[in-house]
Structure 1
Amino acid sequence: MLFGVKLSNEIFPPWKDHYINYERLKKLLKENTIDAGSKKGKSAWTDHEESQFVAALDSELEKVYSFQATEYGLVNKKIESLEKQVEEINAQGDKEHVEWEPFQQELENALSEARELDQFARLNFTGFQKIVKKHDRLHPNYNSVKALLSIRLKELPFHSEDYSPLLNRISQLFQFMRDNLKTGSYISTSLSASLNTPAASSLSNQQDLDYQSFKFWVHPDNLMEVKTLILRHLPVLVYANETDDNPSADPIITSLYFDNSSFELYNMKLMKSNTSPSLRLRWYGKLSDKPDIFLEKKIVDKTDDENSRDIRLKLKEKYLNDFIINHDVEGFKQKTLQRVKEMGTSEQIINGISGDIDEVGSFISELDLQPALRSVYTRTAFQIPGDDRVRVTIDSDISFIREDAFDEDRPIRNPDEWHRTDIDNAGSDLHSVLRKNEFTKFPHAVMEIKIKSTSKRKASQANGISIPFSRKHGKWIEELTTSHLVKEVPNFSKFIQGIASLFLEDDRLDMLPFWLPELEDDIRMNPNQAIEEEKKKAKNQTDMKTRLQRIEDAPSRSQDRNAGINVEDIDHESSDDEGGYSAPKRKQKTEIIPFLTGGSKLANVDSEDEEVELPPGVMKPKTLLKQAGALKIEAKIWLANERTFNRWLHVCTLFSALTFAIYGAVKKAASETLATNMAYLYFFLTLFCIFWSYYIYIKRLSIIKERDGKHLDAPLGPMVITIGILVAIIVNFVSGFRHAAAQITVQDAEPLHPLIQYVLEKTYHLVGAEGY
């Protein structure tokens, strides 16, 4: 979509005259009359027109900044007025006779204006960037205006305004309403449900709490709208940090993830092994401010929930090198326990801390772990104080930075330090320190919804999102998660994303996350399109339920028809859980050793083509439904096929080297005939490897493109190679012993141990050696 069309569609009508006049600036550039790069175009643009455009650009920038600053001040005054009303209500003490409707209306207006102001800044900033880029493209013979725009944006920073303080204050006002309103007569249904949420103490005696976590991507353009939607129902959690100059701002969190040079933790977590541990360091704010540093180890055991547990140790920065780099576990433990004892901690807790330190220390030493990845992001958390049944966190401005020292010749981090000192030094500019391939920025924000429910509900089928909605919070959460504002990404992990994006070309990564190709797509969606998709999804779910109901009812309706069928003749693949029945077995087509050629493992199952007879006039489609639509294959599938092909080529290279080495040494061999035959055998294996690797690569490529259900395994090639090598080894063995026997005479034979003598005689006899 052209930006001019996008701007006209997304402007806030009351502020229409205060947006950048994009069309006027385009006319000043003479885009329609100048051919970029041509001699005629260069001569048509004059210095006067250049000055006129720059003046107009600066005027538009002044206009946008002035309006943004004025509106920000008005929103701030509205919030101050509401805060004064709260103070007056608290001073009077009579909250039952307060008119809440005007208060809530004013609060909603302030929230809406804050959201629109954020969108206003985003649209205008994009417009200025677009028009400057267009100028530089159309008039390359003039100086770039980009530098001028950067200087003016520093003086008029309408695009960098932080709205977190406003949202935090609005959140406190909504919380004031939750604390004092007893009814929802003045508010919407969804907000009423949130305001009437009972205290967490009412759940203290309830058991069987089910905890689940769900993750979503949020585009930066939708971030402000998502935040304003959430804080209508959940207040913003303010992180108390004494060293922070702005305590109302969202905290910057740094996580340092551990792994080894083989990426064992990454591969275990991505391949969803039964036990997948993880280890990280975490702190809030700048390291130069001496924050608390936490070492967190998380163990997830899918076979036994009792073995799943978290370890969290609070560490001092000065002890980290000894513990992590030098592996001085005992020294670190003594210093830590001494400090804990001075605080008057009980003996039981001290023993627990001691065991945790030993466990983490041995975990680091056994797997040879080291800091490998740094993740830096800003976190906004929403939760009702004292009630942890619903908590929402949004991590934005996510950056991933390499922290490893895997390459001993060119380490990213000093191997003798537990962190990159060039980044954490006070006053250092992050972008001036980092090189191009050392960091990457995640394009979206990550929203996580954590829910505790009092009963284990099945996943919601109506919207396709597996969230156990509660009565109090269900409606607004469902509206948010099924809206066009977010995109669900199950099992998303910042650790996996960071490793995959920074070490993408590394052969040590066995797998890549399934969501990686989706980062190239625009996750933004038109609201009308989202509504239509939800309607289609709901209709499909309804049709599916109807079909399943028919299948479940089928046995009872057809019981009389199938009364004569013997139970022993029913297909053994049928399942009682599916509620259906199967026809008697048919004779299947046989295939000689089907597993050698990679044939389907479901070859003995009845084919749909055999069971379905098309009615007259109906033709079998040339393109199946599974092959329709855009081809979206995960990157790891392509890479796995290419990686297998490359490994086959590696085997071909080894065989060819062995072939020419043997053939070149034929004259020096004890048996020239044998050496020549061995060279021919290895040459045959070389040719077979070349043709087989190409055949399998093309075949699997075709299966992937056609979305075929055939299996990709084909063990014929490895079996031929194995048999060929085995034959070569046996022939060499037999020939070698025969030659050795022919060279030994009775006079030359040295006396041997009787057992060795017996083994040699039997071996020579077995290989047919004569004269021994």
Structure 2
Amino acid sequence: MKFGTTLQNEIFPPWRLSYIQYDMLKMELKERQLDHEWSEEDEQDFASMLDNELRKVYDFITAKLGEAEARICYCERTVKSFMSNPRWASEQSWQIMDDALTEVLFDINDLSKFSRVNYTGFLKIVKKHDKWTTYDLKQHLVERLRDTPLDNQRFDVAIVFISALHDICRRRGKPRTGNSAAGGDQNAFERATSKYWIHPDNVTEVQSIILLHLPVLIFNKDKEYESTDSAVSSVYFDNDDFELYTGRLQRDEGAEAIRFRWYGPSDKKSVFIERKTHHAPWLNGVSIKDRFRLDANDVPKFVSGELTPDVIASRLEAEGADEETVKQAHFIATGIQKSFKEKDLHPMCRIFYDRTAFQLPGDQRVRVSIDTNLTFIREDSLDGKERRKPGEWHRDDVGVDYPFSYVPEGDILRFPYAILEAKIQTHLGQKPPEWMDKLLSSHLVHEVPKFSKYLHGASYLYGEHIPLLPWWLSEMEMDIKKPRESTFGLSRSSSFKPLIDGQYQRAMAAEERRIGLVADSIRRSTRSAKKPKSLEQEVLKARATVLKRGDHPHYYGTPPPGPEKERINGELGEAVNVENGDIYLVTILLLNFGDSVSRIAGGIFIGISAVVAIYALYRFEKRAWMINRRMLGRYDDLWGPAVLCCLLVGALIVNFYLRFR
């Protein structure tokens, strides 16, 4: 399919005018060349048009992202007020906040798709330009994209904040039990891990789907989250014969992978010394990952052997660590230093990525992580280039500033996909939840069993030194982006309302509960031998039953948070909200439980309801028609509310007149 057609299919109609004018740029290329030979003036004009389009798209993304951040801040302030004053926070209030956050999440997902399709459009049009003319515009685009970046990384921070607030709303402000930092002991359980690639166009949608079920795991809640907090850097060690690489690829018994890992900015303070062992003999043949922590300044001493396992154990004892922790650290340090000495290991490959982990704090039964911006960087000197100063264990010219444009192209490989890892605790008999099964079998992900970051990076960077290659390299030649085959995922209705798995999920569930509860209430009332004391009490009783047993309904959209509505007390002393949508409930009760006067009033209300419903449908269709055609004019309604109020007041006057007569 041509990109022009793809772009038209991907356009979100309300934002149509903000997309790259791909067809216009393409037409400029064709018509100018048909009219005359492409000149320097044509090149300058085309570059100027390209810059204008890029600036338009970038400014739109920045404005929309700022708008989303403002809405998130408003939700955050409101949630904090609910938590500080619980009496303000009704079930309905929490639900409204949750729905508002879901709306923002959908907007972020749409903005991510907008960013990706426009980025692809600029690459495509520049490729056509360079092919059809004698000029090279690719480098110009690369430089402009540095000033006006169109990347998904800008949305990650917003997703983390939405996740935190969504989790609070889901718990209705109750504190979460469990430690976010729990799970540091990697020996505590067995996990079944499955790995998948995610096309960049689908990353934000996958993150959003997981977010609706699991919160983003934040280890340090004492500081405000920043984009660099998700950075993970690892240096893998091997020898010139790639002994560790070969052992891991062949899955030899006892095969090791040794890496030094740190989290966050490049000015690291702590480094985790880690070792993965395939079928560890000291754990009855169970594969294991074990590690201990060192201060960054002590790492060179550990590599050289100056810092011994005995010294490490003594330090831990002085810090008050328990006996098991001290014993484990001594055992791991001894094994790693032995491998360094016997196998002549040295730094081979740096692996960087930004990780978003989803997990209930303190609950390790289900954990999902998504790694984006995956990058492999050479650390070796096999080609004669010195990349480290003597005595250093990693190169000091690389930070966490993806895409590392300053690193020579021969030293770096940028992976085109994101990596999803789903981990399930198998020793507890845990099975994947239904939503995870649907996600992992959907069009949004591509399964790659036994994928390894180090094996992939080494096979590309050192292909001339390695006799064996991983099986999944052939998968890199295919397009992993699959067409949508079902309604699974996030989408929009024809009126642009959010759909989850093709449904107005919350509204439909609430409406079904509401109808069922009202019907139950009416059936119970008709079976009762004793008539209600009064019509007013029956209305209050039925309404209180609905509100007590079911959630407050929200129809196909999210009402803006605002002050609480007027309250009246029911017969049982419960708070009952008065809503315009309850006119049909009043009408049913008037017709079923009233006398002749009540039935006349009920008939009048039914007539008003029918008129209002038809008028509302007319206004909705007219506004949708105006929005789709981006027409100027009034979108508010001057007369509808006034006429509705007059009709209701008239009906009440008739009701009172008939009653008092």
Query: TM-score of the superposition, structure 2-length normalised?
Result: 0.65
Tell me, yes or no, if the aligned pair for 2:413 and 2:461 is still in contact at 8 Å. yes
Letter in 1 for 2:169: M
**Equivalent residue number for residue 275 of structure 1:** 254
RMSD over equivalenced CA pairs, Å:
3.6
Kindly indicate whether the alpha-carbon contact (under 8 Å) linking 1:28 and 1:49 is maintained by their aligned counterparts in 2: no
The 2-side partners of 1:153 and 1:425 are apart by: 20
1:151/1:301 CA distance change after superposition, 3 Å: closer
Give runs of aligned pairs for residues 329-728 of structure 1, distance below 5 A: 331-333=307-309, 335-345=311-321, 349-406=325-382, 410=384, 412-414=386-388, 416-424=390-398, 430-434=404-408, 436-452=409-425, 456=429, 468-469=431-432, 474-506=433-465, 508-509=466-467, 511-528=468-485
SS at the partner of 1:180?
Answer: coil
Say which SS state the counterpart of residue 423 (structure 1) adopts: coil
Quote the offset at 1:163 in angstroms.
Answer: 1.0
Q: Deviations over 1:253-285 (max 9, x none)?
A: 111112222222222211122322221111123
Shift of 1:530: 11
What displacement does 1:239 show? 4.2
What are the ranges of 5 or more consecutive residues in structure 1 without an aligned counterpart? 36-40, 183-194, 458-467, 532-772
Cα pair 2:234 2:260 within 8 Å, conserved: yes
Seen in structure 2, the aligned counterparts of structure 1 residues 425 and 525 have a Cα distance that, compared at 3 Å, is closer
* 1:321 counterpart letter in structure 2: P
1:170 corresponds in structure 2 to 162
Percent identity between the two aligned chains: 34
Q: 1:151 to 1:351 in 2, by over 3 A?
A: closer
Conserved? CA contact 1:293–1:316, under 8 Å: yes
Decide whether the 8 Å contact of 1:214 with 1:490 is kept in 2.
yes
Do the aligned partners of 2:358 and 2:367 also contact (CA within 8 Å) in 1? yes
Distance in 1 between residues matched to 2:388 and 2:48, nearest whole Å: 50
Query: Are the equivalent residues in 2 in contact too, given 1:215–1:449 (CA < 8 A)?
Result: yes
Of 289, 295, 299, the residue aligned with 2:273 is: 295
What is the distance in 2 between the residues matched to 1:47 and 1:359? 65
Q: Is the 8 A contact 1:107 1:170 kept in 2?
A: yes
Whether the 8 Å CA contact 2:350–2:378 is kept in 1: the answer is: yes
Q: In 1, Cα distance between the equivalents of 2:322 and 2:283?
A: 28
SS in 2 for 1:484: coil
Structure-2 separation of matches of 1:344 and 1:475: 44
Contact 1:230 / 1:382 at 8 angstroms: preserved in 2?
A: yes
CA deviation digits over 1:189-234, x for unaligned, max 9? xxxxxx9x99899xx9xxx976311111111111111111111111
SS of residue matched to 2:393: coil
Match of 2:5 in 1: 5
Partner residue, 1:110: 104
Please tell me the residue identity of whatever aligns with 1:176: I
State the alpha-carbon separation in 2 of the partners of residues 379 and 427 from structure 1. Answer: 14
Asked if residue 128 in structure 1 is aligned to residue 87 in structure 2, the reply is no
Amino acid at match of 1:34: Q
Cα distance in 1, alignment partners of residues 315 and 233 from structure 2: 25
Aligned residue for 2:308, secondary structure, equals: helix
List per-residue Cα deviations over 1:515-562 (Å, max 9, x = no partner).
11101111001113999xxxxxxxxxxxxxxxxxxxxxxxxxxxxxxx
* Structure 1 residue 65 corresponds to structure 2 residue 62: no
The one-character-per-residue Cα deviations of 1:223-250 (angstroms, maximum 9, x if unpaired) are 11111111111111224399x9963554
SS in structure 2 at match of 1:387? coil
| Secondary structure, aligned partner of 2:110 | helix
Partner secondary structure for residue 485 of structure 2: helix
Q: By how many angstroms is 1:67 displaced?
A: 2.2
| Secondary structure in 2 matching 1:59 | helix
Contact 1:391–1:449 at 8 Å: present in 2 too?
yes
Alpha carbons 1:277, 1:300 under 8 Å: kept: yes
Q: Which amino acid aligns with 1:421?
A: R
**d(CA) in 1 for partners of 2:19, 2:254:** 55
- Determine if contact 1:423/1:430 at 8 Å carries over to the other structure: no
Partner-residue secondary structure (3-state), 1:121 = helix
Partner AA of 1:87 in structure 2: K
Equivalent AA in structure 2 for residue 481 of structure 1: L
SS across alignment from 2:240: coil
Alpha carbons of structure 1 residues 523 and 225: separation in structure 2 relative to 1, 3 Å: same
C-alpha separation between the residues in 2 aligned to 1:165 and 1:81? Answer: 16
Q: Amino acid of the residue matched to residue 371 of structure 1?
A: P
Distance in 1 separating the partners of 2:24 and 2:401: 42
Contact 1:168 / 1:248 at 8 angstroms: preserved in 2? no
What's the secondary structure of 2:26's corresponding residue?
A: helix
Contact map agreement 1:259 1:370 (CA 8 A) in 2: yes
2:242 corresponds to which of 263, 266, 269: 263
Equivalent residue number for residue 581 of structure 1: none
Instruction: Between the two structures, name the one with larger relative contact order (CA 8 Å, sep ≥ 6).
Output: 2
